[in-house]
């Protein structure tokens, strides 16, 4: 495939898909697809409500970048990159429905030799076991014969203006060694930090899902420490800062974890572990701690209110800055 022949569709234009579409549009013809008509309308006006990409950056690549909510507009493309969220359900189990639906949608338009690349965080095996099956079903084409797949996990850090898409090394993989090379070449052409090609899609899936698991667990440990230190009447921050005077102490801080990744991805990994009859001890302990920090904080507030003779029942609570990212602005009033 020559550069001039490459036509890319990005499926899903959230804070992962849009930056990718804009970056690719600097070099290739790109169609941005989203089922959300409102999102398409704002992007048509070069306006990104997620605040990841500036208006002028979008407008500067519009010669190469079109937006649509009609999948038939993407039929001339030969590369489809799926940037769809992978949430969990109310039982903390992976909810692959959005991913399955978009695989069906894409399966309806792909042709021979097209490459479908997934960027969504999943458990190891999910792309080939679940998504490929849907692609085969709805396309009638055969995997690794008629069409091929790649997996290149997104590493977007929402709101981070330093570590942006092109400045973060990107893991690449493909369903055959030749396709892995093609996927790697494609990303290499836009990621100035370089790419990291691995031996299989499954390895790439695993590498992604353990990243956020490690972060979740380190925050959970600090949360557990803060509970213990609190009971021992010690100032958590003073203790952490003292420990941090050692060169190899890791400077995590207690707090809530949230967003689409840290609190979610570990459950994808534990789901896969349970599939092979391993009950994860540490990872789930970490999740429990972090999931309970909200309740813990409420408990602390109520204790303080009681100590200060504040009536609990009819109180109004103002939540200031309770966001999963620091320095976000949020203010909510909540009736207890």
Query: Strands 29-33 and 7-11: what pairing?
Result: parallel
Is residue 281 near a second copy by the rule CB under 8 A?
Answer: yes
Is residue 328 within 8 A of residue 259, CB to CB? The reply is no
262 makes contact with a second copy (CB under 8 A): no
Among residue numbers 78 through 137, which ones bind a second copy (CB under 8 A)?
124-125
248 binds a second copy (CB under 8 A): yes
Handedness of CA 221, 224, 228, 234 (dihedral sign): positive
Does 234 engage in binding with a second copy (CB under 8 A)?
Answer: yes
Distance CA 97, CA 89 (A): 10
Choose between 113 and 163: whose C-beta lies nearer to a second copy. Answer: 163
The answer for residues whose C-beta is within 8 angstroms of residue 115's C-beta and 6 or more apart is: 78, 79, 80, 147, 148, 149, 150, 174, 179, 182, 183
Per annotation, catalytic residue among 77, 131, 261, 328:
261
Q: Which of 11, 81, 122, 171 binds a second copy (CB under 8 A)?
A: 171
Q: In the complex with a second copy, which residue's Cβ is closer, 61 or 179? A: 179
Q: Considering only 53-61, 93-101, 181-189, 272-280, which stretch makes contact with a second copy by CB under 8 A?
A: 272-280
282 burial level (CB within 10 Å; 0-12, 13-18, 19+) = exposed
Integer Cα distance of 48 and 39 in angstroms: 8
Does an H or E element contain 186, and which?
helix 177-188
Q: Whole-number minimum distance, CB 142 to a second copy, in Å?
A: 24
Q: If you count DSSP H runs as helices and E runs as strands, how many of each does the chain have, helices first? A: 11, 10
Active-site residue, 261 included: yes
Q: Give the active site residues.
A: 261
Q: Which stretches of the chain bind a second copy, using CB under 8 A?
A: 124-125, 155, 163, 168-169, 171, 196, 198-199, 202-204, 206-208, 210-211, 213-215, 217-218, 220-221, 224-225, 227-229, 231-232, 234-235, 238-240, 242-243, 245-250, 269, 272-273, 276-278, 280-283, 285-286, 288-289
């Amino acid at each position: 495939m020559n550069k001039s022949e490459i036509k890319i569709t990005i499926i899903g234009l959230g804070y992962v898909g849009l930056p990718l579409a804009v970056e690719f549009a600097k070099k290739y013809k790109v169609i941005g697809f989203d089922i959300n008509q409102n999102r398409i309308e704002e992007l048509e006006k070069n306006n990104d409500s997620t605040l990841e990409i500036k208006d002028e950056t979008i407008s500067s690549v519009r010669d190469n970048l079109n937006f649509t909510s009609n999948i038939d507009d993407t039929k001339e493309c030969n590369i489809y990159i799926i940037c769809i969220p992978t949430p969990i359900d109310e039982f903390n189990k992976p909810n692959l429905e959005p991913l399955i639906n978009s695989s069906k949608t894409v399966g309806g338009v792909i042709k021979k030799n097209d490459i479908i690349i997934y960027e969504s965080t999943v458990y190891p095996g999910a792309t080939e076991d679940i998504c490929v099956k849907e692609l085969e079903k709805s396309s009638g084409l055969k995997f690794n014969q008629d069409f091929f797949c790649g997996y290149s996990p997104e590493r977007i850090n929402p709101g981070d203006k330093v570590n942006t898409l092109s400045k973060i090394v990107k893991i690449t993989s493909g369903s055959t060694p030749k396709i892995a090379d093609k996927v790697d070449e494609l990303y290499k052409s836009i990621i100035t930090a370089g790419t990291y090609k691995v031996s299989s899609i499954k390895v790439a899936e695993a590498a992604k899902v353990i990243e956020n698991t490690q972060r979740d667990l380190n925050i959970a440990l600090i949360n557990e420490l803060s509970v213990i230190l609190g009971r021992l009447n010690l100032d958590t921050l003073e203790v952490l800062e003292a420990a941090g005077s050692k060169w190899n102490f890791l400077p995590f801080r207690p707090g809530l974890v949230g967003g689409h990744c840290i609190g979610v991805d570990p459950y994808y990994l534990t789901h896969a572990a349970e599939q092979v009859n391993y009950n994860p001890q540490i990872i789930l302990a970490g999740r429990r701690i972090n999931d309970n920090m909200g309740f813990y904080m409420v408990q602390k507030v109520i204790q303080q209110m009681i100590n200060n003779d504040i009536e609990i029942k009819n109180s109004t609570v103002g939540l200031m800055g309770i966001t999963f990212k620091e320095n976000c602005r949020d203010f909510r009033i909540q009736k207890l």
